[in-house]
Chains A and B, each alone.
Chain A
Amino acid sequence: MAIIEISNLKKSFGKLDVLKQITFDVNKNDVIAVIGPSGSGKSTMLRSLVHLEEINGGSITIAGEAFVKDGVYAKPQDIKKITSKMGMVFQHFNLFPHLTVKENLELPPKLVKNEPVTTIQQRSMELLRKIGLTNHAHVYPANLSGGQKQRVAIARALMMNPEILLFDEPTSALDPELTGEVLEVIKALAQEQMTMIVVTHEMGFAREVANRVIFMDNGEIIETGHPSELFTNPQNERTKAFLSRSLK
């Protein structure tokens, strides 16, 4: 059964339609790469899944519960409950600069989740080990490299035990030599069967890790398929043009 069902998503800023009838499903354990040129609506689509953007039409169903149905949103507390199944990693990390790495990880679950503090601390130590930053637990984000910041941001999202993790261009703000360490963490999550949607410009990564690639252009899904098909044998002209530009 699909864990995310998105149907006929529509969004416009004034007269500009940024999303036109976006429809697709995400199954449990899927790793979906969303690719496409800038301004194609990839990020807006992703952000609407966690209610950072209001859509103007369509439905979003998470694990069987719709928080927006035919453009009508559920009650705020229901939206919150349903969207809490998803975690999000941003392009610009959005770590809390006034908190240390450990505090960044532990404050949100302490405030939101009904868990004993020791459980939360245990989980943060585990995740720090996983991202290889145990020695940086008491460091402030200002003293981390971009790659380290993004790994902390991923760990912070995982602290909430999400069922689905969304990545909004997680490596676009990084120096090229730092993207590898972040992609490694995402790859490791894929191996652990984490359900993920990754908006990315890293074609090599999409090809290697995703089990489905969605190509968006101008607010529409143009083509979707397994990376082995979509990258080697794209059907649509726009996909071909985009891939030949970005694989150069």
Chain B
Amino acid sequence: MSFEYFTSILVPMLEGAQMTVLLFFIAIIVSVPLGFLLTLAVKSSFKLVSLLAQGYIYVMRGTPLLLQLLLICFGLPMLPVVGEYLVFDRFVAACIGFVLNYAAYFAEIFRGGLLAIDKGQYEASKVLGLSKWQTTTRIILPQMVRVTLPAIANESVTLVKDTALLYAVAVPELLHFAQTAVNRDFTIVPFFVAGMIYLVMTLFLTFIFKGIERRYKFE
């Protein structure tokens, strides 16, 4: 095993990892706020809005992410009449799938976080004259973030690993290059390299979340 071989597979794999990282950031940046909106929808006093949001979360969490990705990439274009307008770039389609799926998971995490907040916080806010919006953004949200951070960190690590599903919809990413190298060179090494890269990414993520948790300790 030469060092030259190692670098020769590492470079394309790192390029593939860029896709992984890009998908991760898009998914997390869009699905976290979307998830919070879903939580608010679930808690809405409009019954219809609440039921729709609950139904959405049930479907998204109750079916495999892989199925959802395949449906968006290959299923939607088959629909009669509207199908021809639903042909997305594979990567875009995958982003849509990840965002829609993860928003449902984050919504459940946030719902749990809201349950952990004492009703006295709402009462104190009301008596002090804060509006509902002020109460939500200034009092409830920061406390919810603190409560849910460990769960969000956990979900984020899962998201990093789930990006490997891009393989199934033929978007060239980290795992794709590893698999190609394994087949071409008949060696197990690329799998280990891929594993290392995933580990580095999740380790980095763990450190970031530990830092955020320290900032939100309120002690």
Binding site for B on A (CB under 8 A): 50-52, 80, 83-84, 86-88, 90, 92-98, 107-108, 111-112, 140, 142-143, 156-157, 160
Q: Which residues of B contact A97 (CB under 8 A)?
A: 143, 218
Assembled-state Cα–Cα distance A240/B124 (Å): 35
On whether A108 and B121 interact (CB within 8 A), knowing A96-B139, A140-B219, the answer reads no
Q: Does B47 contact A (CB under 8 A)?
A: no
Q: Check if A94 sits within 8 Å of B118, measured CB to CB.
A: yes
A-B contact count (CB 8 A): 58
Q: Does B134 contact A (CB under 8 A)?
A: yes
Q: Check if A94 sits within 8 Å of B120, measured CB to CB.
A: yes
Of the A-B pairs whose beta carbons lie under 8 Å apart in the complex, a sample of 6, sorted by A's number, is A52-B127, A93-B120, A98-B139, A98-B146, A112-B129, A142-B218
On whether A143 and B219 interact (CB within 8 A), knowing A92-B120, A94-B118, A107-B138, the answer reads yes
Q: Check if B121 sits within 8 Å of A96, measured CB to CB.
A: yes
Partner of A111, one of B124, B134, B143: B134
Residue of A nearest to B123 (CB): A52
Q: Does B61 contact A (CB under 8 A)?
A: no
Q: What does the 1/0 interface line of B116-136 toward A look like (CB < 8 Å)?
A: 001011011011111000100
With both chains docked as a complex, state the minimum distance between the C-beta of B195 and any C-beta of chain A, in angstroms: 39
Assembled-state Cα–Cα distance A108/B134 (Å): 9
Q: Check if B129 sits within 8 Å of A90, measured CB to CB.
A: no
Q: Which residues of B contact A88 (CB under 8 A)?
A: 124, 127
On whether A160 and B128 interact (CB within 8 A), knowing A98-B218, A142-B219, the answer reads yes
Assembled-state Cα–Cα distance A96/B118 (Å): 10
Assembled-state Cα–Cα distance A161/B142 (Å): 27
Partner of B120, one of A90, A111, A143: A90
Q: What does the 1/0 interface line of B202-219 toward A look like (CB < 8 Å)?
A: 000000000000001011
Q: Which residues of B contact A142 (CB under 8 A)?
A: 218-219
Q: Check if B123 sits within 8 Å of A90, measured CB to CB.
A: yes
Residue of B nearest to A111 (CB): B134
Q: Check if A52 sits within 8 Å of B138, measured CB to CB.
A: no
Residues of B42-75 at the interface with A, using a CB-CB cut-off of 8 Å, are none
With both chains docked as a complex, state the minimum distance between the C-beta of A107 and any C-beta of chain B, in angstroms: 7
Chain B interface bracket (under 10, 10 to 19, 20 to 34, 35 or more): 10 to 19
Residue of A nearest to B145 (CB): A98
Assembled-state Cα–Cα distance A61/B148 (Å): 43
Q: Check if B129 sits within 8 Å of A108, measured CB to CB.
A: yes
Residue of B nearest to A153 (CB): B124
Residue of A nearest to B120 (CB): A94
Of B118, B128, B139, B146, most buried by chain A (CB within 10 Å of CB) is B128
Assembled-state Cα–Cα distance A108/B128 (Å): 6
On whether A94 and B218 interact (CB within 8 A), knowing A84-B129, A111-B138, A160-B128, the answer reads no
A-B contacts besides A51-B126, A90-B120, 18 pairs, CB < 8 Å: A50-B126, A52-B127, A87-B127, A92-B118, A94-B120, A94-B123, A94-B124, A97-B218, A98-B142, A98-B143, A98-B146, A108-B130, A111-B134, A112-B128, A112-B130, A112-B134, A157-B128, A160-B129
Q: Which residues of A contact B139 (CB under 8 A)?
A: 96, 98
Q: Which residues of B contact A86 (CB under 8 A)?
A: 127
Q: Which residues of B contact A160 (CB under 8 A)?
A: 128-129
Q: Which residues of B contact A96 (CB under 8 A)?
A: 121, 124, 139, 143
Residue of B nearest to A113 (CB): B129
With both chains docked as a complex, state the minimum distance between the C-beta of A57 and any C-beta of chain B, in angstroms: 22
Residue of B nearest to A91 (CB): B120
Assembled-state Cα–Cα distance A190/B54 (Å): 52
Assembled-state Cα–Cα distance A107/B128 (Å): 10
Q: Check if A52 sits within 8 Å of B126, measured CB to CB.
A: yes
Residue of A nearest to B216 (CB): A98
Residues of B154-208 at the interface with A, using a CB-CB cut-off of 8 Å, are none
With both chains docked as a complex, state the minimum distance between the C-beta of B142 and any C-beta of chain A, in angstroms: 4
Assembled-state Cα–Cα distance A157/B127 (Å): 9
Q: Which residues of B contact A140 (CB under 8 A)?
A: 218-219
Assembled-state Cα–Cα distance A143/B218 (Å): 9
